[in-house]
C-alpha cells in the first residue's frame, strides 16, 4: 500500500528532456548528492518500488559520452522511482567490438549479484527524453528507442530492435540471449529480433511521442562485412550460440561511484 507512484505510459507528455553535454560535477559528488550506492545502485526509500532492473551498457573508448550519459540517466531513473543498478561492460582492446556479446556478459554478471526481474540493454549514446518511457519491462519484449531525433523521430524499419530494449529475465533466457559471433557494426540486433520471433514473442513499442531519444553525436561506424552471412545462417545457431555457451574472461571489476565496471576479454 506504500507502492511508489509510477507514471505508466500512454499518457502523452509533450515535455522533452535534453542532456547536459558538458557536465561538470565529479562522479563521487554526484553519487553522494543523489544517494547512489557504490556500483551505481539506487532504490527509492520512501515507497516500495514496482520494478527492479539492471541496465546493461556495452562500452569502449567513449569516455565523454559515458560521462554525459551517467549524469543524465541517474536523475532520470530516480524520477521514475525505479530500483536499479547500472553495469558498464567494457571490451578490452583485443578484437573488434562485439556489442551483442557484451550484453550477454552483462546479463550473466548481473544475475550473479541480484535476482533482477528486468533488463535494459542499451547504447550509451542514447538519451531517453520522455519520463513516460518507463525503464521497466512489459509483457512482451519492448523496443524502447523507436523514435530517435537522428531519424527525425521516425522508425526506420518495422523490424528494428536496436538502440535500447527492455526484456524480462525470462524473455531473455528463452531467446538464449544474443548471438556471440557478431563482431563489428550491424546485424546483431536484427538477429536478436529473429530469435524473439522464433520463440513466439511479438515485440512491443510505446507511441512515438513517448519513445523519444536524443542521440549523442559520433562518427558513423563502418559496417562489418560478415553481418549478412551471420544473419542468413542465424536460425541454425539460436540454440547453441548465446548465453548457454558464453565464454569470456573478466580482467577487472570495480564498483565505481556511478556504475559497476567490468572489463572483459571476449
Residues contributing to the site for ligand NGS (CB under 6 A): 160, 162, 186-187, 189-190, 223, 227, 231
* Residue number, 171 or 224, with CB nearest to ligand NGS: 224
Give CA separation, 225 vs 95, 164, 230, 258, in Å: 15, 24, 10, 36
Smallest gap from Cβ 83 to ligand NGS, in A, equals 29
* Residue number, 118 or 148, with CB nearest to ligand NGS: 148
Smallest gap from Cβ 63 to ligand NGS, in A, equals 21
Place of cell 536478436: 192
Smallest gap from Cβ 151 to ligand NGS, in A, equals 7
- 65, three cell numbers: 559520452
Smallest gap from Cβ 212 to ligand NGS, in A, equals 15
Amino acid at each position: 500500500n506504500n507502492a511508489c507512484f509510477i507514471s505508466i505510459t500512454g499518457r502523452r507528455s509533450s515535455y522533452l528532456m535534453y542532456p547536459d553535454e558538458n557536465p561538470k560535477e565529479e562522479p563521487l559528488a554526484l553519487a553522494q548528492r543523489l544517494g547512489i550506492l557504490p556500483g551505481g545502485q539506487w532504490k527509492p526509500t520512501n515507497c516500495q518500488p514496482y520494478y527492479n532492473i539492471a541496465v546493461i551498457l556495452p562500452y569502449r573508448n567513449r569516455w565523454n559520452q559515458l560521462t554525459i550519459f551517467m549524469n543524465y540517466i541517474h536523475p532520470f531513473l530516480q524520477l521514475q522511482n525505479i530500483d536499479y543498478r547500472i553495469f558498464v561492460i567494457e571490451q578490452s582492446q583485443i578484437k573488434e567490438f562485439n556489442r551483442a556479446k557484451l550484453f550477454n556478459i552483462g546479463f550473466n554478471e548481473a544475475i550473479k549479484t541480484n535476482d533482477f526481474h528486468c533488463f535494459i540493454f542499451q547504447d550509451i549514446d542514447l538519451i531517453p527524453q520522455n519520463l513516460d518511457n518507463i525503464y521497466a519491462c512489459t509483457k512482451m519484449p519492448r523496443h524502447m528507442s523507436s523514435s530517435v531525433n537522428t531519424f527525425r523521430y521516425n522508425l526506420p524499419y518495422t523490424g528494428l530492435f536496436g538502440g535500447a530494449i527492455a526484456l524480462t529475465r525470462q524473455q531473455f533466457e528463452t531467446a538464449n540471449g544474443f548471438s556471440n559471433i557478431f563482431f563489428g557494426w550491424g546485424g546483431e540486433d536484427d538477429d536478436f529480433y529473429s530469435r524473439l520471433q522464433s520463440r513466439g514473442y511479438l515485440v512491443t513499442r510505446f507511441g512515438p511521442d513517448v519513445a523519444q531519444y536524443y542521440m549523442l553525436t559520433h562518427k558513423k561506424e563502418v559496417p562489418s562485412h560478415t553481418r549478412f552471412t551471420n544473419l542468413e545462417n542465424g536460425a541454425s545457431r539460436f540454440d547453441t550460440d548465446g548465453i548457454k555457451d558464453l565464454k569470456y574472461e573478466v580482467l577487472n571489476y570495480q564498483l565505481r561511484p556511478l556504475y559497476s565496471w567490468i572489463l572483459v576479454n571476449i
